[in-house]
Structure 1
Amino acid sequence: MSSVSITNGRDEPKDGRVETWKTPRMAQREKMVSRPALSPAAKAARTAKLAADAAELKQRTELSRRRRMMIAPLAFAALTGLLLVLHQSRVLELFYPAGAVLVAAILYKRSPAHYLSFVVWLFFLTPEVRRLSDYFNGTFSDRSLIMLAPVIAAALCGMNLLTHFRVLMQRRAIPLTLIVLGIFYGYVIGMVGAGIAAASYTLISWLFPVLIAFHILVTWRQYPEYHRTMLKTFVFGGFVIAAYGVYQYVSPPPWDAFWLVQSGMISEGVPLPFGMRVSSTMNSSGPFAIAMMACLLMTLAARNKMAFLAGGLAVPALIGTMSRSVVGGLAIGLVYLFVMLDGRSRLRLVGGVAVIVLLCSPVAMIDEISDKAMARFSTVTQLDNDYSYQVRTEIYDHFLSEMTTNIAGQGLGMTGLGSKLSGDGSSNNVDFDSGLMEVPYVLGWPGTLLYTAGLLMLILRAFVASFARKNDRFAVAGAAAAFGVLAMMVFVNTLIGSGGMFFFIGVMLPVTGWRYAREIQHRAARAAAVRPDAAATPDQATAGTEAQRNIALPSKLKLRT
């Protein structure tokens, strides 16, 4: 029934027609039917307009979500700065770790990439917050609760072991499972030899980098978000710590001078202009040099002016650390980048390195910097006069024979800072200048076999994934940073603490990106099989914007049906 006829004697038209009353819906339907059909070009234009409006709405929603992600970290930074300005150091010592864990928990639930970025920023800046707190408080504290903030925030990702425990038995997680088993073997041995306190303290620094790797593994679908967020973190974070490091070397701030004098770290130099080894916002020159090397390699994957500026500041900051091992790691990372990247990216790499060298070339004209750097790095060719080389040679000679007889290992807590918590005295506690010796000394033969097998599998997978996707400069740069950190194991154990965090992030990025790209290809292939007339494009339901999907699926990759 499309209409209702209403007639009466008085109002009946003279021509005999019957007036019809229609509901609004009926009238609209008849209007749509009577409208002329659109041409194919008009239909395509209307479809394109609707798609553009939908894309714009999605982009606005994504930008709004990103801004909301920044509210909690910025509020935390503002409150920390306010407490420092008000000289409320005692309140800050309680607020900082609690606030950091709260913000990390919020970001962990909402965005895995922003959570990891926040953890990296904590490792960058927390030691400087501790120095400022001690300086304004007027007393130096050997054990500060502030320094627990980055470790506890990083340990939050251990919740993935509970929510994704089945993944541990899958083939993709076997390397991490082997590493965790090797570490826990050393923990059990350490509880017997060094005590529960010392072994547990050391366990955290060994384990949390592996937990971060597992966090990236189970959130691999967020790879475009990792690409965008972590690249910005390394570029802007590298710029901040490099700029502060250069300033610290030229004119040490009073809080850094206070920390250096009170800590008694003679190896870090004296708190005078051009007399202090650059540690920037981190604990010492060693961890800062590793972080700076990773940031410098990652900035080569960026395509903005800030990356060149950060790189130009990173080089003199690295020189100020006087760390020869980092120079070797950086060289290995650059060689890996040059070999693995495609032809076009190689040209950009060479151009980027050239621009960075030009930007930092004025540093070579400063005698206070160039003379000390040349004197420090010239010892590489004069090993007979190198004291650290002689000490390291003695370590190899002594512990190589000990490791062949002590198969079980000494356990966690017998080396490093954790040894100070050992209850059996300090006679058996040693500090290693060689990571290659520390791993078998601590984990023994069983733990070393598990740990090394997992590492080799991770390295092999990262290499294969980098080779398969050479045009993903971000993933290749991450692998280059990981190999640079690994090469420094000859001098110090770089696979624990913040150095281990950079290593495991670097080896997981290529594998995660490769898996994400293959998933996009499979989805597009299935969509093309269901609708052959549709273009073989990535599934629009995939996380990330179109630009981010292009990162995961470069145009050179062809879909396989």
Structure 2
Amino acid sequence: MEWISGKSSWRKGAIRTVYRLIHMTGVIGFGAMIGLASAVDSLHMKLLELAFLLLSLLLGLYIHTKSTHALIPYTLLIWTISPEIRRLLDWSFQSYSDTSIIMLTPYCVSLILLIPILKHFKRIDPRISMILKIIGAALIYGFFLGILKYRLSSVYELLNLAVPFLVLAYVHVSRFDSTVWDRWLRSFAYLAVIVGVYGIYQYLVLPPWDYFWMTTADMNSVGLPEPQKFRVFSLLNSPGPAGMFLGFALAIMIVQKKWRAFGIVGIMIVAFALLLTLVRVGWITCVIMIIAYFARSRLKSKLQLLTLGIIMVLAYVFILPALPGANQVTSRFSTLGSLEEDHSFNERLDFAKYIISDMITHPVGRGLGSSGLGVKLTQNSDTLAVFDNGYLNLFYSFGLPLGLAVIIMLGYLFLVLYKMSKTEKSYAPISFAAISATLFLLLGSNVLSGLTGYILMLKISLALTYTPLNRREM
């Protein structure tokens, strides 16, 4: 027994030593960067970007060791604020680049989730394991197919798609109780209110750093770089991600009181900011999630949803017309009734026809790095930065067999969560709402990647992990 006890103490001591070495290395590296920056002026900006990444990573490791349950809210925070930090630095140095070290920060911080996953890998049940094997096979195939041609773009897209599925595994192996899960969703709602408040401020004032970014990044679709004449993007990269972020948050805030931030006031702030993004798909997604939750929830929840729905409709009819920017919002939504006259809708149709013809000639796929934001890291002209159909993107990247396997896996998740939501009413309804939104959103873009994928997989993972044991502290 003494030998076993001694061995256990040795392991704990070794783990503590490793973490101390990581922290010490980070501090020394940070000091070296400051010294180098003071010697070479041209490196100032890149070194500050690297410093932000390093400090975020070190803080994430500290949170993992001291307060593991706060790791998910922390990663969500980093995902949310990183684009704005980048804009502040660009404005400070009056320099813009398509690539920035800061944009790697959310991925690097999210990789901390691998530590508990590897430590408790044996806890993963066969159902989660099957999902991870399918997406893992697709990612490995797509990576090796694209790495020789697209290089760093393939690495970036690998992270972009792999990180959201780490959340699925992390929630499953961490075995937190339901109070922690509620805290996660509530922290997401608080972040959404912050995004909403800043978005409204941004719309009314247009801070100089956001103005600088709009004029240098050639974001023509955002609108004129003048107050109240552009589509709000708040802390995020563009109106699209901002609209999706707010739409996801608004849905959970509406369906459950315990997941709200600042009550009805918080809901109205998020809803108004979502309107200012002019992202119709954000509202459609929110409605789909509410309807899916409505269909699988208890009677009491249905009555609450109906009441809130009436309040939202009344606010849209009577309050919205008196607010700044109302004409832009109402004209944008009026095109939903005449999609054949909608320019963006027609462009998507033409794009789908082009991709289908390309898939027929390249059934094995083009690999990771051939599409997505990562194409900015390569000079290859044979790439697509914007991909307007998520289903076709899966085939385009992974080929017909593995692309179909991923889609079947998502269909399997939909059926599993639908069945679970018949009996389990705590988290299965919101997980079912999330997979329903995923299947819809894939008609427009590959929402399995990046921040949208991260949020969707977080919601989906709750029902897949929930057991009676999660009702109490583990």
Give the structure 1 partner of residue 473 of structure 2.
543
Give the structure 2 partner of residue 13 of structure 1.
none
Give the structure 1 partner of residue 218 of structure 2.
264
Contact 1:316–1:363 (CA under 8 A) maintained in structure 2: no
SS at match of 2:176: helix
C-alpha distance in 1 between matches for 2:206 and 2:177: 40
Give the structure 1 partner of residue 462 of structure 2.
509
The amino acid that maps onto 1:484 is A
Contact 1:179–1:452 (CA under 8 A) maintained in structure 2: no
The amino acid that maps onto 2:409 is G
Q: 2:436 matched to 1:483?
A: yes
SS at match of 2:228: coil
TM-score by length of 1: 0.71
Contact 1:113–1:225 (CA under 8 A) maintained in structure 2: no
Deviates more, 1:125-134 or 1:414-423: 414-423
SS at match of 1:270: coil
Give the structure 2 partner of residue 282 of structure 1.
236
Cα displacement (A) at 1:169: 7.3
C-alpha distance in 2 between matches for 1:362 and 1:271: 29
Deviations 1:27-75 (A, max 9, x none): xxxxxxxxxxxxxxxxxxxxxxxxxxxxxxxxxxxxxxxxxxxxxxxxx
The amino acid that maps onto 1:460 is L
Cα displacement (A) at 1:99: 1.2
Matched ranges for 1:33-72 at <5 A: none
Cα displacement (A) at 1:260: 0.9
Contact 2:141–2:398 (CA under 8 A) maintained in structure 1: yes
Deviations 1:101-127 (A, max 9, x none): 111112223444310110011111111
Give the structure 1 partner of residue 70 of structure 2.
114
Decide whether aligned partners of structure 1 residues 383 and 224 sit closer, same or farther in structure 2, where only a CA change above 3 A counts. Answer: closer
Matched ranges for 1:318-333 at <5 A: 318-333=274-289
Cα displacement (A) at 1:356: 4.9
C-alpha distance in 2 between matches for 1:169 and 1:408: 31
Give the structure 2 partner of residue 445 of structure 1.
400
**Structure 1 stretches lacking a partner, 5+ long:** 1-82, 521-537, 545-561
The structure 2 residue matched to 1:341, chosen from 280, 284, 297, is: 297
TM-score by length of 2: 0.84
Give the structure 2 partner of residue 295 of structure 1.
249
Cα displacement (A) at 1:454: 2.5
Matched ranges for 1:196-215 at <5 A: 196-215=151-170
The structure 2 residue matched to 1:499, chosen from 431, 452, 460, is: 452
SS at match of 1:409: coil
Deviates more, 1:379-388 or 1:325-334: 379-388
The amino acid that maps onto 1:447 is L
The structure 2 residue matched to 1:255, chosen from 193, 209, 228, is: 209
Give the structure 1 partner of residue 87 of structure 2.
131
Give the structure 2 partner of residue 66 of structure 1.
none
Give the structure 2 partner of residue 176 of structure 1.
132
C-alpha distance in 2 between matches for 1:361 and 1:508: 37
C-alpha distance in 2 between matches for 1:257 and 1:362: 32
Q: 2:341 matched to 1:385?
A: yes
Q: 2:413 matched to 1:413?
A: no
Number of residue-to-residue matches in the alignment: 431
Give the structure 2 partner of residue 95 of structure 1.
51
C-alpha distance in 1 between matches for 2:450 and 2:366: 20
Cα displacement (A) at 1:173: 2.1
Cα displacement (A) at 1:417: 2.3
Cα displacement (A) at 1:143: 2.4
Give 1 or 2: higher helix fraction: 2
SS at match of 2:369: coil
Decide whether aligned partners of structure 1 residues 374 and 352 sit closer, same or farther in structure 2, where only a CA change above 3 A counts. Answer: closer
Decide whether aligned partners of structure 1 residues 305 and 111 sit closer, same or farther in structure 2, where only a CA change above 3 A counts. Answer: closer
Decide whether aligned partners of structure 1 residues 421 and 134 sit closer, same or farther in structure 2, where only a CA change above 3 A counts. Answer: closer
Decide whether aligned partners of structure 1 residues 485 and 268 sit closer, same or farther in structure 2, where only a CA change above 3 A counts. Answer: farther
C-alpha distance in 2 between matches for 1:124 and 1:400: 34
Give the structure 1 partner of residue 143 of structure 2.
187
Decide whether aligned partners of structure 1 residues 257 and 119 sit closer, same or farther in structure 2, where only a CA change above 3 A counts. Answer: same
Cα displacement (A) at 1:259: 1.2
Deviates more, 1:90-99 or 1:359-368: 359-368
C-alpha distance in 2 between matches for 1:243 and 1:370: 17
Deviates more, 1:244-253 or 1:493-502: 244-253
Deviates more, 1:229-238 or 1:409-418: 229-238
CA RMSD in angstroms comes to 2.6
C-alpha distance in 2 between matches for 1:481 and 1:239: 20
The amino acid that maps onto 1:464 is K
Decide whether aligned partners of structure 1 residues 164 and 150 sit closer, same or farther in structure 2, where only a CA change above 3 A counts. Answer: same
C-alpha distance in 2 between matches for 1:211 and 1:188: 20
Give the structure 2 partner of residue 455 of structure 1.
410
C-alpha distance in 2 between matches for 1:101 and 1:458: 32
SS at match of 2:445: coil
Cα displacement (A) at 1:156: 1.9
Cα displacement (A) at 1:204: 0.7
Decide whether aligned partners of structure 1 residues 406 and 124 sit closer, same or farther in structure 2, where only a CA change above 3 A counts. Answer: same
C-alpha distance in 1 between matches for 2:459 and 2:261: 23
Give the structure 2 partner of residue 43 of structure 1.
none
The amino acid that maps onto 1:283 is N
The structure with the largest alpha-carbon Rg is 1
Give the structure 2 partner of residue 104 of structure 1.
60
Give the structure 2 partner of residue 352 of structure 1.
308
C-alpha distance in 2 between matches for 1:169 and 1:295: 29
Give the structure 1 partner of residue 188 of structure 2.
234
Give the structure 2 partner of residue 315 of structure 1.
271
**Structure 2 stretches lacking a partner, 5+ long:** 1-33, 35-43
Cα displacement (A) at 1:493: 1.4
Contact 2:247–2:286 (CA under 8 A) maintained in structure 1: yes
Decide whether aligned partners of structure 1 residues 171 and 305 sit closer, same or farther in structure 2, where only a CA change above 3 A counts. Answer: closer
Contact 1:410–1:442 (CA under 8 A) maintained in structure 2: yes
Give the structure 2 partner of residue 40 of structure 1.
none
Contact 1:178–1:450 (CA under 8 A) maintained in structure 2: yes
Relative contact order (C-alpha < 8 Å, sep 6+): which is higher?
2
C-alpha distance in 2 between matches for 1:420 and 1:238: 28
Cα displacement (A) at 1:355: 4.4
Deviates more, 1:140-149 or 1:341-350: 140-149
Cα displacement (A) at 1:382: 2.4
Deviates more, 1:202-211 or 1:325-334: 325-334
